[in-house]
A = this chain, B = another copy of it.
Amino acid sequence: MDASQTELRRTGMLLHLPPDRWEMLSAVPHEIRRFGAREAISLKGEPVERSLLMLGGTMGRYISRPGRDDRQMVALQIAGDFVDLHAFPLGMLDHDVRTITPVTLALFEHRVLREVVERSPDLGIDLWRLTLIDGAIHRHWAFRMGAMRALSRMADFLCEMDLRMRLCGEGEDRGFVLPLTQSDLADACGMTPVHVNRVLRDLREDGCCTLSAGRVAIHDRARLASIAGFDPSFLFVEPDGSGYRSLFEGGFRS
C-alpha cells in the first residue's frame, strides 16, 4: 500500500514463521531501504549478497530474453514476502527484480543469515519452507498459464492476490489495492494489454469485480472464484490454524 512502513511486521507469508523464530530473525541486523517506482533492483546473473524482505509497496520478478519482447512476470511481491531469499543459497538470480510502486525493504546480508541459521537450524528450515511456498506459487503460475484461458487466468490471478493481500492485512471484503497497469497485468497473465482490457470488461459486466485507479473492487467473490476454479491450497495457508480460517469463508473453498 504505502511504502512508509519502517518496522518489521510478521504479516503475509511471514506468518509461516512461528512467532519465536520471527523474533529471532527480526532481531538480526538489517538495513531499511526505500526505492522508487519502476526501478531495477537486481538483474539476472548478477551475484547477490543480500535478500530483500518487503515491508511495503509492490514489486515484480521478471524473466525476459534480450532481443525478444516476450517479458513475463513470474512473481508479484507484496508486504511480508521475502522477495529473493532463494538467492541466499543460490548466490545469484535467474530473473530480474523490479519495483512497480515505491517500496520499503529490509535488507538481510547473506553473511548474517548464514550466522543466524547456524545458530538456529530450525529457523533455517523455516526459511527453507518460505522459499518452497514461493516455489508452489510458481507451479501454480505454470498451471495457470498452461491450462487456463484468458478469463479464468485473470480471475485466478485476482483471487490469488485477493487472498494474499488479506493475509498481509491490506485487503478488505470489498477489494484491495493493486497498483498495476493493464500492461502489468498482461505481463503477469501472459496476454496482450488489449486482451487484458477486454477480459476486465467481461469480468466487470459479469458483476464479478471492477478494476480502476489501482484498486480491485470485488462485487461477487464467489462468482470470481468460480470462474477461476480457484483452489488456494497452493499457498499453504491452513484453514484451521493460525487465524486464517475467517479468510476462507465466503467463497474461497473451490
Contacts and interface: CB of A to CB of B under 8 A. Distances in A.
A140 interface: yes
Contacts of A141: 138, 142, 146
Sort chain A's interface into a size bin.
35 or more
Lowest 8 A-B CB distances belong to which pairs? A91-B254, A146-B190, A145-B145, A135-B135, A138-B138, A70-B147, A72-B147, A141-B142
A232 to B, nearest CB: 10
A92 B252 CA distance: 11
Contacts of A139: 61, 63, 74-75, 94-95, 138
Contact of A131 (B91, B118, B132): B132
A138 B61 CA distance: 13
Interface string A45-69: 1010000000000000101111010
A149 B254 CA distance: 30
Interface stretch (A30-38, A122-130, A212-220): A122-130
Contacts of A63: 139-140, 142-143, 147, 234
A231 B142 contact: no
Given A94-B236, A131-B135, A233-B45, A146 B89 contact: no
18 contacts: A45-B233, A47-B254, A63-B139, A63-B142, A63-B147, A64-B147, A65-B231, A74-B139, A74-B142, A86-B132, A89-B125, A89-B129, A90-B236, A117-B125, A118-B121, A121-B121, A121-B124, A145-B145
A134 interface: yes
A195 interface: no
So how many copies of this chain end up in the complex? 2
A229 interface: yes
A75 to B, nearest CB: 8
A71 B139 CA distance: 13
Nearest to A69: B147
Nearest to A70: B147
B72 A254 contact: no
A110 interface: yes
